[in-house]
């Protein structure tokens, strides 16, 4: 009886403390902004089953991933037994010494036997794996577990949590073995592994051992559960909701700022009616934790500190200050520091410090290429780039402190509609003197314009969106010219905007200059909607992403096709017959542009075309694991942050390892970077860098 009362009181205390911890977390969640719509339940459930329960992302590191997955699945089974123990304890059956009374769920029969057997096997597997994890963490010193953000107490926390799990398993196994001896023929459930150690339990003390183990196990559960909210192991609770609430949109889509949209619409059209209810915008972007969304917060709580994100970050791999894990941990640590004040005084509470720059520095934020390798790799779907970009927004829009070259880029876009100092009137010069060779005969190619087509009463099926790189950058111009030849050769019904096109605003957005992005986007949308554009083809994966995923938030809804996808379709339709002889001496490798591959899931279209002219030797980092070329996230327009080497150099080394003499790619910026890398390695005589469009043109001999 006394034991029963003690157990009920202990349970109430444990759950009371846990409820208090969670209530603080929920109050903070309520205080923070909504991140995005969380309505698409079906897709979210699918993703949760896949990523959280199926553990698919953690398996990207197969051996250790499988070990973690076994622990996760094992815990799910053990949770069933723990729930049963709790109910048995509340009823008081374990304390009467009669094993026939406890094990409340045994009426489930075979299902029960299966669950208990699974739980028993899991306990042994987890025990062994936790020992292995302890050795990895404390003896093997895995590089991923180190880093400037990993404090001594983080390692102690991880070790403590692992030790708790170890003792949880030891007590569970001990309890199972003692229960078998104590209950004898009345034992319920099957214990395939613990039954092997029953000889270790003296029959006359079996009930005492069982009770000691029972109490140890349940008290450890209570302690562990209450420790978790303050530990890195909180991901045990948070990873499943975090995956459920993660973004379902393409990784490279960046949210729009509604507050900015209202102002930009007024700027573009001062006669537009003022919005009825003006919400007060406290701050543009994120300076401190309260400017973040509740998803940023639960991201930070779900982080396992595994370091997978940092291990694939091109900035970190080249010695820059940025570590995506640190960005997430900075948020959590800053929230821990500020939480009590926020709970007491609300969002207005200030303590003289801020997430930026006191935790996350300027140098870290501007080293990001927005390649999304971190978000792709994170086993619990944490979205690091959105935090980084929100802080860039703060720097740009509130402090006007962006790097000088980024400011110059913005000024150029404002003045000339291009990130470089070129005249808007020259935007269509790329199409001058374009010729195509058919059957050995050269003929001029006139790139059609939308305005001319309209004047002729025609509406072309496709708009060829050239983009700023395709219009002004030397390599980009080559891609545009080659692609225009292909369009002409395949008799595609298309047209360009010519000088009516202006910069897409993609780089402005990645720099945090949302005003400029929206100005550019709204101007382009107005023009394109005026021509009733439905389908767009572009050679630039950055513009592809912006036009496809971000213009729709501002009223531009189009089917956007990357030129590699379009070329694939033309080949499949028999409109392009590639001659593989042209490239028979080439050893080809392919560099995946982040905004095409990881961002929008297109890995196969460029490979399809390359497979028609030769064989691809893949780099060791390819497809979703591909390393960025270093140009994205406005890096192309600024000096790289301090580091050991350039990102493009590292990526070129990946390519050189394959022994290739042709590096194919599908983005004007990637092409520039890879060419720079090849030049840096003094290999420009041996190794060619070419866009898929150029390869197709050469193969067609046009």
CB closer to ligand SF4 out of 264 and 321:
321
Give the nearest distance from C-beta 79 to ligand SF4 in angstroms.
Answer: 21
| Minimum gap (Å) between residue 329 Cβ and ligand SF4 | 8
Residue whose token pair is 């940023």: 296
User: Which residue do the tokens 């910069």 mark?
Assistant: 503
Binding of ligand SF4 by 99 (CB under 6 A): no
For ligand SF4, the binding residues in 384-403 under the rule CB under 6 A are: 384-385
Nearest Cα to Cα of residue 595 among 568, 631, 619, 569: 631
Q: Which is nearer to ligand SF4, 119 or 372 (CB)?
A: 372
Residue whose CB is less far from ligand SF4, 313 or 463: 313
SS3 call for 390: helix
The least CB distance from residue 391 to ligand SF4, in Å, is 12
Q: What are phi and psi of 292, to 5 degrees?
A: -80, 180
512 binds ligand SF4 (CB under 6 A): no
- Cα-trace Rg, the chain: 30
Give the separation between CA 218 and CA 171, rounded to whole angstroms.
Answer: 9
Q: Which positions from 249 to 288 touch ligand SF4 by CB under 6 A, shown as an x/- string?
A: ----------------------------------------
Determine the interface stretch with ligand SF4 among 262-270, 377-385, 638-646, 679-687 (rule: CB under 6 A).
377-385
Min separation Cβ 593 and ligand SF4, Å:
13
Residue selected from 183, 371, 616, 650 as contacting ligand SF4 according to rule CB under 6 A: 371
User: What track of x and - describes contact with ligand SF4 for positions 440 through 479 (by CB under 6 A)?
Assistant: ----------------------------------------
Does position 369 interact with ligand SF4 (CB under 6 A)? The reply is yes
Residue 452 Cα distances to 311, 491, 540, 641, angstroms = 52, 18, 24, 46
Closest CA to 497 of 540, 526, 473, 457: 526
Measured in degrees and rounded to the nearest 5, phi and psi for residue 256 equal -95, 160
Q: How far is the CB of 144 from ligand SF4 (least distance, A)?
A: 8
Distance CA(118)–CA(111), nearest Å, equals: 10
- The 295-324 site mask, x for binding ligand SF4 (CB under 6 A), equals --------xxxxxxx---xxx------x-x
In DSSP terms, 462 is beta-bridged to 494, 535
C-alpha span between 224 and 222 (Å, rounded): 6
Closest approach, Cβ 550 to ligand SF4, in A, equals 17
Minimum CB–partner distance for residue 239 and ligand SF4 (Å): 8
Annotate 214-230 with b (16+ C-beta within 10 A) or e (fewer).
bbbbbebbbebbbbbbe
Cβ neighbours of residue 603 closer than 8 Å, sequence gap 6 or more: 592, 597, 623, 624
Place of tokens 């070990």: 67
Output 467 or 630, the one with its CB closest to ligand SF4: 630
| Cis upstream peptide for 357 (omega within 30°) | yes
For residue 472, what are its two tokens?
């002004």
Nearest to residue 543, comparing CAs of 526, 519, 527, 524?
524
- Tell me how far, at minimum, the Cβ of 468 lies from ligand SF4, in Å: 22
CB of 374 to ligand SF4, least distance (A): 3
Q: Does 85 bind ligand SF4 (CB under 6 A)?
A: no
What's the closest the beta carbon of residue 564 comes to ligand SF4, in angstroms? 22
> Cα 160–165–167 angle (5° rounding)?
95
Binding-site member from 85, 180, 339, 380 for ligand SF4 (CB under 6 A): 380
Instruction: State which residue, 321 or 588, has the beta carbon closest to ligand SF4.
Output: 321
Residue 681 contacts residue 662 (beta carbons within 8 Å): no
| Residue 504 within binding range of ligand SF4, rule CB under 6 A | no
- How many other C-beta atoms can be found within 10 angstroms of the C-beta atom of residue 208? 13
Contact between 161 and ligand SF4 by CB under 6 A: the answer reads no
The footprint of ligand SF4 (CB under 6 A) covers 303-309, 313-315, 322, 324-325, 328, 368-374, 377-380, 382, 384-385
């Amino acid at each position: 009886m006394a034991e029963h009362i003690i157990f009920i009181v202990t349970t109430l205390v444990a759950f009371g403390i846990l409820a208090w911890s969670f209530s603080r977390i929920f109050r903070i969640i309520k205080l923070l902004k909504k991140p995005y719509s969380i309505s698409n339940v079906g897709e979210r459930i699918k993703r949760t089953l896949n990523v959280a329960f199926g553990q698919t992302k953690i398996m990207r590191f197969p051996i250790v991933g499988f070990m973690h997955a076994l622990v996760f699945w094992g815990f799910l089974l053990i949770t069933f037994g723990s729930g049963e123990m709790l109910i048995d304890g509340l009823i008081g059956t374990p304390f009467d010494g009669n094993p026939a009374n406890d094990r409340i769920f045994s009426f489930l029969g075979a299902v029960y036997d299966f669950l208990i057997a699974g739980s028993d096997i899991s306990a042994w597997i987890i025990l062994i794996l936790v020992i292995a994890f302890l050795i990895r963490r404390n003896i093997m010193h895995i590089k991923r577990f180190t880093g400037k953000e990993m404090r001594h107490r983080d390692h102690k926390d991880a070790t403590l949590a692992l030790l708790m799990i170890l003792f949880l398993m030891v007590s569970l196994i001990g309890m199972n073995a003692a229960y078998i001896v104590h209950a004898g023929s009345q034992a319920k459930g099957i214990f395939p592994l613990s039954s092997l150690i029953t000889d270790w339990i003296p029959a006359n003390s079996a009930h005492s051992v069982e009770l000691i183990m029972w109490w140890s196990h349940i008290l450890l559960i209570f302690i562990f559960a209450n420790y978790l909210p303050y530990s890195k192991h909180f991901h045990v609770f948070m990873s499943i909701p975090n995956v459920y609430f993660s973004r379902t949109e393409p990784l490279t889509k960046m949210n729009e700022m509604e507050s900015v949209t209202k102002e930009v619409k007024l700027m573009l059209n001062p006669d537009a009616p003022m919005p009825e209810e003006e919400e007060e915008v406290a701050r543009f972007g994120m300076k401190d934790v309260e400017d973040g969304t509740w998803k940023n917060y639960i991201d930070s709580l779900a982080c396992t500190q595994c370091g997978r994100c940092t291990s694939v970050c091109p900035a970190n791999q080249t010695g820059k200050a940025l570590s995506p894990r640190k960005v997430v941990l900075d948020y959590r640590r800053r929230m821990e520091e500020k939480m009590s004040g926020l709970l007491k005084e609300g969002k207005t509470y200030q303590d003289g410090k801020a997430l930026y720059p006191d935790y996350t520095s300027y140098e870290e934020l501007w080293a990001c290429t927005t390649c999304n390798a971190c978000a792709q790799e994170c086993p619990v779907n944490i979205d690091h780039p959105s935090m980084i970009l929100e802080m860039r927004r703060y720097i740009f829009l509130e402090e006007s402190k962006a790097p000088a070259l980024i400011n110059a880029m913005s000024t150029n876009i404002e003045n000339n509609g291009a990130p470089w100092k070129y005249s808007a009137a020259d935007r269509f010069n790329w199409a001058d003197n374009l010729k195509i060779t058919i059957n050995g005969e050269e003929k001029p190619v006139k790139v059609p314009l939308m305005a001319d087509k309209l004047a002729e009463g025609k509406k072309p099926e496709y708009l060829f969106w050239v983009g700023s790189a395709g219009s002004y950058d030397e390599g980009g111009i080559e891609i545009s010219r080659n692609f225009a030849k292909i369009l002409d050769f395949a008799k595609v019904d298309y047209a360009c905007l010519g000088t009516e096109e202006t910069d897409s605003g993609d780089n402005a957005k990645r720099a945090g200059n949302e005003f400029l992005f929206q100005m550019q986007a709204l101007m382009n949308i107005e023009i394109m909607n005026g021509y009733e554009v439905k389908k767009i083809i572009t050679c630039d994966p950055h513009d592809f992403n912006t036009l496809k995923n971000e213009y729709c938030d501002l009223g531009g809804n189009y089917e956007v096709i990357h030129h590699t996808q379009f070329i694939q379709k033309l080949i499949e339709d028999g409109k392009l017959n590639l001659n593989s002889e042209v490239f028979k001496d080439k050893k080809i490798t392919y560099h995946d542009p982040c905004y095409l591959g990881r961002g929008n899931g297109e890995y196969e279209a460029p490979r399809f075309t390359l497979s028609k002219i030769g064989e691809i030797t893949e780099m060791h980092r390819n497809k979703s694991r591909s390393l960025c070329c270093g140009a994205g996230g406005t890096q192309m327009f600024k000096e790289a942050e301090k580091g050991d080497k350039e990102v493009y150099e590292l990526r070129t080394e990946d390519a050189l390892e394959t022994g290739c003499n042709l590096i194919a790619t599908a983005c004007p910026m990637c092409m520039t970077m890879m060419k720079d890398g090849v030049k840096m390695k003094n290999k420009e005589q041996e190794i060619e860098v070419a866009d898929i469009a150029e390869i197709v043109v050469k193969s067609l001999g046009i």
